[in-house]
Chain A
Amino acid sequence: MLDLDARLVEAVLADWKSAPVTPRLRAGLALVEAVTLRPAEPMDALVVDARAAGLDDAAVEDAANVAFHFNLINRAADAFDFTRPTARQLPRLARLLDRMKFMRSGPRASPSWTKAPDGALRPVEVQAGYARLLEAPCASSPEHRRAAEAFCAHQRGARRDGAVPAELRHYLGKVATAAHKVVDEDVAALRAAGWSDRALFEVTMAGAFGASVVGLETLFGALYAQGT
């Protein structure tokens, strides 16, 4: 952590509710926890609490954006078994990424959200990403990617659901709710069933996307549903 005390970080990870953090940061942690652990449960009260703690809509969105991103990355990292940077590699890596100007994100869209055809409120960029992630001509079929997205969203409490091929159900169920339990044998079995690495990557990403986006949809609904 770059500008937070290591002991404070440890205290938050051990028990964020009792950790000595500002009300603003605690409200952010509450949002992040809800988006991660209870993505489909109503978040209206959380948004009220966040505003009372001094968070504006941009701060609420950004906390949720970080949660979305790491819910997605965590699932991919565990499903694909990404190589972990060592303690020695981490500082060099952080310095290097800081120097890469093209890795910056650019300004926030205004308005930041849009109402999707399915009625969900999503960040504009996320909605734009849906079309390509699910529909682009790639190694896997759009039908499989759409099913994987909806199947994993359903596993996390969303109403939509998808009919994924039988051999994918066990694997995608883990990706959605317990990606750290994916093992080599899961991927080996799918390869044996004819899935290429590229097709597996794409359906996994579609599934991880669906599992991660549910919390964003709930939170953006709580933030902006009255304005639609």
Chain B
Amino acid sequence: MRIDLANNDDRPLFFRLAMAMVRRVTGLELGPLLLISYERRFIAGALKRYILRGMRGQGAWTKGEAELFAGFVSSLNSCRF
């Protein structure tokens, strides 16, 4: 990762626990989790819930359809992630 997002004491406790669990189970520093859990005053609760709705496909589309949309967007953006 190009910048240091992992060392951040302002991150809410439950996100620190979640990331520790992800790190333990997969060995990963999961970028999107680091991103949405950056300081509470920066990423508001409402926006976080909104982002999660997009990320998890909790809405009018099935999880598979939402993942297809996600993969489609990443392909259009030539995203390397």
Contacts and interface: CB of A to CB of B under 8 A. Distances in A.
Interface stretch (A146-154, A160-168, A195-203, A220-228): A195-203
Given A77-B80, A83-B31, A103-B18, A29 B69 contact: yes
Contact of B1 (A13, A83, A93): A83
A77 B31 contact: yes
A19 B43 CA distance: 37
Given A105-B49, A132-B41, A205-B35, A73 B81 contact: yes
Which size class do B's interface residues fall under? 35 or more
Interface of B: 1-5, 14, 18, 21-22, 25-32, 35, 38-39, 41-44, 46-47, 49-81
B68 A74 contact: no
7 shortest A-B CB distances, which residue pairs?
A: A129-B47, A69-B54, A82-B31, A77-B81, A125-B50, A3-B64, A105-B53
Given A89-B28, A132-B42, 7 more contacts: A1-B64, A3-B63, A66-B57, A69-B55, A84-B81, A89-B26, A96-B25
Contacts of B80: 77-78, 81, 84, 180
B21 A96 contact: yes
Contacts of A84: 80-81
A74 B74 CA distance: 6
A89 B30 CA distance: 11
Contacts of B79: 74, 77-78, 179-180
A16 B44 contact: no
Given A80-B31, A104-B56, A69 B51 contact: yes
A56 to B, nearest CB: 7
Contact of A187 (B2, B56, B58): B2
A108 to B, nearest CB: 7
Contact of A103 (B26, B52, B64, B81): B52
12 contacts: A1-B67, A2-B64, A55-B60, A62-B53, A70-B54, A74-B81, A80-B31, A96-B25, A103-B52, A123-B50, A132-B42, A205-B35
Contacts of B70: 66, 69-70
Contacts of B27: 89
B15 to A, nearest CB: 9
Contacts of A36: 73, 76-77
B50 A100 contact: no
Given A68-B54, A125-B49, A187-B2, A4 B65 contact: yes
A33 B72 contact: yes
| Residue among B30, B42, B59 with the highest chain A CB neighbour number at 10 A | B42
Nearest to A81: B2
Contact of B44 (A2, A92, A104, A131): A131
